[in-house]
Amino acid sequence: MNMMTKTVNRQLPGDADWWRGAVIYQIYPRSFQDTNGDGIGDLAGITRRLDYVAGLGVDAIWISPFFTSPMKDFGYDVSDYRDVDPMFGTLADFDELMARAHELGLRVMIDLVLSHTADVHPWFKESRSSRTNPKADWYVWADPKPDGTVPNNWPSVFGGPAWQWDGKRMQYYLHNFLASQPDLNFHNPDVQEALLDVARFWLERGVDGFRLDTINFYFHDKELRDNPPLPADDRNDSIAPKVNPYNWQEHIYSKNRPENLEFLRKLRALMNRYNAAAVGEVGDAQRGLEIMGQYTSGDDLMQMCYSFDFLAGSRLTAADIAAIFARLEAKAPDAWPCWAYSNHDMPRHISRWNLSDAAAKAYLTLLMCLRGSACIYQGEELGLPEADVAFEDLQDPYGIEFWPEFKGRDGCRTPMVWQRNNGTGGFTSSKPWLPVPSEHLARAVDVAEADTDGLLQHYRKMLAFRHRHPVLAKGDQFRMRANGDVLCFERTHEGQRVFVAVNLGNGEATVDAPDFGNATRGPIELGPWDASILVGE
């Protein structure tokens, strides 16, 4: 364990609300850039490619976990919160990354996994050693039922019961994910303080904020009551694949507990001392928008959260998006969302929604105009499709468990492609940890750079447009409506007004534009996957 705790004062100056409307670029470090030839990306590789990231025009980067870990869930099983896993480098490498990012004007957000640890974490080793040790209550332990079966009906997101038997303590422990990822007991104040110390460690190193993994999983019901069944008509596969019976429950006792709000207030108070911000991942298929509202309303909780509404399996239509915002307005009018179409857990939206480049441009234009912040996942600016990873190449335990009905998350985690004329896309000089699909090479960065009308240039253009018009980042939003395939809405901020119309369909369309001041405008003609943005006072 590296206990180095030097203070690094590298926060960027400027707006305390820098996060509001920010565009955040997600980097999955295993797959971004390898610099030491072991086939796995590293922190030095991120530093090497930061000029490219800054050139997109994003405001911040989110780096998926790089902490010391046995890597059974690829870093989301942490064994040391205060150090870098050797496969990714060292704390010195992280400091160099931070320094270069701030030189380029990029803020750095890191992925904190607070709900659970690895089963080899020293805390868990001590906790499982007896029922009387100082950390005996740091994890969620429960006696079996009289017949020896699990304490309740809670399932794991990754399949099977959420309880694992431990012969040393003669008790079950809770794991919402892999059995090697035991859940921490947030009802214990000492656990909360230990995790706040983890956040403080990285804030002292200069990070600008956090992405908070599974933010609604922190607390569990103390009474361990059974979750009720969920009617079949209410089930969806936004959190778990259809083949997983996790979808068959309403998870009101295993997560989403009201006690979480007080811990989030403590975390926000800590972050405020550093002008840091957080975006929480709300993993809930039924109440995601409502929970987002609870966790982001007011100025003493989280700044941003994202639910899974924009990560839907079927393509979002204009009517879908209008309905999502109507529900958000009804359930959580003060919420500040952070929208994303793709991430490291979901099939890439280019494939999920079967989008052409023209359609991908339209959806990006929409994302850059909607109220909220936005996340872009590495490679989506290139239009990378989901990779078809053969079973023998799979690394993800989730996919291996449910193959072949569900192939897991490896298809969106294959290496970033930088060069076309290179078998590994310029990612590594050796065999990559996941294969690089041949169809990705044709979309490598060096190819995209030469296409002046391509998707990469459209991302740069739209991010620059968003920066030129703060109304798109921070403004209010109103009068959203779906007119067939066209989504229309308006934004206002400090006297500036914007009208946005995006055609999310293959046909031509006509919409009426509002009058701005004394200017009278006629109908707007939109081609397939076309957009019109009117800026006025």
Residue 166 known to be catalytic: no
The DSSP secondary-structure symbol of 311 reads G
Q: Which residues pair with 279 in a beta bridge?
A: 211, 304
Detail the DSSP E strand segments found in 336-372: 338-340
- Buried b / exposed e over 414-431, threshold 16 CB at 10 Å, is bbbbbebebebbbbbeee
Answer yes or no: are the C-beta atoms of 95 and 204 closer than 8 Å: no
What phi, psi does 280 have (nearest 5°)? -100, 140
- Of the candidates 23, 29, 6, 19, the residue with the CA atom closest to the CA atom of residue 111: 29
Q: In what helix (H) or strand (E) does residue 68 lie, and over which residues does it extend?
A: strand 67-68
Sequence-separated contacts (24+) of 49-52 with Cβ below 8 Å: 49/418, 50/97, 50/100, 50/101, 50/104, 50/106, 51/104, 52/445
Distance CA 383, CA 308 (A): 21
How far are the Cα atoms of 336, 371, 472 from residue 368, in angstroms, in the given order?
Answer: 15, 9, 7
What phi, psi does 338 have (nearest 5°)? -125, 110
How far are the Cα atoms of 155, 207, 515, 520 from residue 523, in angstroms, in the given order?
Answer: 53, 48, 11, 10
Residue with tokens 């099983």: 77
Q: How many residues does the chain have?
A: 537
What phi, psi does 199 have (nearest 5°)? -60, -40
Q: In what helix (H) or strand (E) does residue 24 lie, and over which residues does it extend?
A: strand 23-27
Residue 250 known to be catalytic: no
What phi, psi does 174 have (nearest 5°)? -85, 135
Distance CA 537, CA 520 (A): 13
Distance CA 465, CA 424 (A): 34
Residue with tokens 């190193």: 205
Catalytic residue among 213, 221, 290, 410: 213
Distance CA 85, CA 89 (A): 6
Other C-beta atoms within 10 Å of 296: how many?
A: 24
Distance CA 187, CA 189 (A): 6
Q: In what helix (H) or strand (E) does residue 173 lie, and over which residues does it extend?
A: strand 171-174
Catalytic residue among 183, 281, 381, 485: 281
**What is the separation of C-alpha 467 from the centre of its chain, rounded to a whole number of angstroms?**
22
Other C-beta atoms within 10 Å of 535: how many?
A: 16
Answer yes or no: are the C-beta atoms of 23 and 73 closer than 8 Å: no
What phi, psi does 68 have (nearest 5°)? -55, 130
Structure tokens at 47: 């530093």
- Catalytic residue positions? 213, 281
